[in-house]
Structure 1
Amino acid sequence: MTRHANTEVLDRLHTLMHGLRRHLQEAVREDGEGLGPMEARCLGYFMRHEGATQSDLVQHAGRDKAQIARIVKALHERGLLQSTPDPDDGRCQRVTLTEQGRSMQRTMQLRRQRFERAMLAGFSDGERAQLQAQLDRMLTNLDAA
């Protein structure tokens, strides 16, 4: 593969990522009732990892501990998250979404699924599986770089 072809792959990936980011930001504005992108990601994380801690999110997101604390606090104040003490370690708080937070997250997730279907329109099941395998391989290569 030539150097020029590699640039074309990166350009296409950049264009796809820009389109995805634009779409997700639009979804957050319309369905997220004023959430910022990181707040929306935070809700998504706690939806997928119910009972996780702020520290778990810090590790997952690779963000500053203070930044995550501010975001979690703001989501608590908006009534989207709730915390309960860990039964094994009272110093640790387990975070879950409130019903309002779940409803908002489900709405945003449905939009994401519609967008994914639109992006993959016309792909066969085999093509989707192949694309997924190639993306996984790219992520593995990136981790190794």
Structure 2
Amino acid sequence: MGFEFNSLEWLFPVFDRMHHNCLKEEIVKRGLGEVSNPQILFVLKNEMNNMSASQKELAEIIGISPPTIAISIKRMKKSGLIYQYPDEKDSRRNLIKLSEKGLAYIEECESAFNKVDRAMLMGFTETEREQMKQFYCRMISNLESLGAKPPAQFKKEHGTNDGN
């Protein structure tokens, strides 16, 4: 059986790419193009004590690979959104900390995300939104059973498997 356009398997990546592009466009339109991965800023502000974390912690919480987060961190350090400093408790690792500039960007980034997401979900009832949420959670669980690692925050909130 060949690949079918308009199938669910085709529509999902189309949706994912369009959502990503809309978010990126909104962020650039607001002059926030130097924020290569806004989730790093959100996690540092909302999840971490003293708005700092190791690169490994950030990768686990967000659910991306260490090499991927390393690229974003390098770009965001260069832009002055975050900075790196040695961990006082463990000299072998560095911590990433949110800068004042990064803190100032967060509110605008959140506003950009909210704008795109509100438009994307326009016309859906609360029942449909809840149903969609359940479908996404089930898909995440299915992917986890294939070996994918969900973000730590998802595991914490939904009590998923801790290692298959």
Q: Is the shorter-chain TM-score for this pair beyond 0.5, marking a shared fold? A: yes
Deviation at 1:103, TM superposition (A): 1.9
Q: Is the 8 A contact 2:34 2:75 kept in 1?
A: no
Q: How many residue pairs were aligned?
A: 140
Q: CA deviation at 1:128?
A: 1.0
Greater helix content: 1
Are the equivalent residues in 2 in contact too, given 1:80–1:99 (CA < 8 A)?
A: yes
Q: Distance in 2 between matches of 1:142 and 1:83?
A: 33
Gaps in structure 2 of 5+ consecutive residues: 147-164
Shift in CA distance, 68/120, structure 1 to aligned 2, threshold 3 Å = closer
Q: Tell me how far apart the structure 1 counterparts of residues 55 and 31 of structure 2 sit (CA, whole Å).
A: 21
Supply the distance in 1 between the matched residues of 2:89 and 2:109 (Cα, whole angstroms).
33
1:93 aligns with 2:94: yes
**Distance (Å, rounded) in 1 between the aligned partners of 2:6 and 2:53:** 39
Give the structure 1 partner of residue 10 of structure 2.
11
Instruction: Assess if the C-alpha contact under 8 Å between 1:28 and 1:40 holds in 2.
Output: no
Q: Which residue of 1 aligns with 2:155?
A: none
Query: % of aligned pairs identical?
Result: 24
RMSD: 2.9
Q: Is the 8 A contact 1:28 1:35 kept in 2?
A: no
Per the TM alignment, residue 7 of structure 1 is displaced from its structure 2 partner at its CA by: 6.3
The one-character-per-residue Cα deviations of 1:44-63 (angstroms, maximum 9, x if unpaired) are: 44334432111223444114
Q: TM-score, normalised by structure 1?
A: 0.76
C-alpha deviation, 1:107, in angstroms: 0.8
User: In the alignment, which residue of structure 2 is the partner of 1:43?
Assistant: 41
